[in-house]
Amino acid sequence: MSCLVCSSDKQRHFTAEVNIHFSGITNIDNPGVLFLPQLLLCLDCGFSRFTTPKMELTLLATGIPPSAGINRPPLSGEENK
């Protein structure tokens, strides 16, 4: 598949570490949501994209921080901790 921005075929997959933070002063102590997606990066223009896993997407949609002590399955990358 070609890059969506520049149509280049020079794209490569990388493992990334993404921490999405909630904005606003009320979320100053919220650690955000950390996950390790596969990132598709265009080596010509720098455009990148990834898909947020379902569990992390749910946490982002609800605004509940991972450290809130709720019962939940492990997040991506937590399985071996």
Q: Are 2 and 9 in contact (CB under 8 A)?
A: yes
Would you state the pLDDT for residue 46? 97
Q: Are 21 and 32 in contact (CB under 8 A)?
A: yes
State pLDDT tens for residues 1-46. Answer: 899 999 999 999 999 999 999 888 988 888 889 999 999 999 999 9
| Sign of the CA dihedral running 41, 66, 76, 59 | negative
Would you state the pLDDT for residue 1? 85
Task: Look at residues 75, 36, 39 and name the one whose alpha carbon lies nearest to residue 54.
Answer: 75
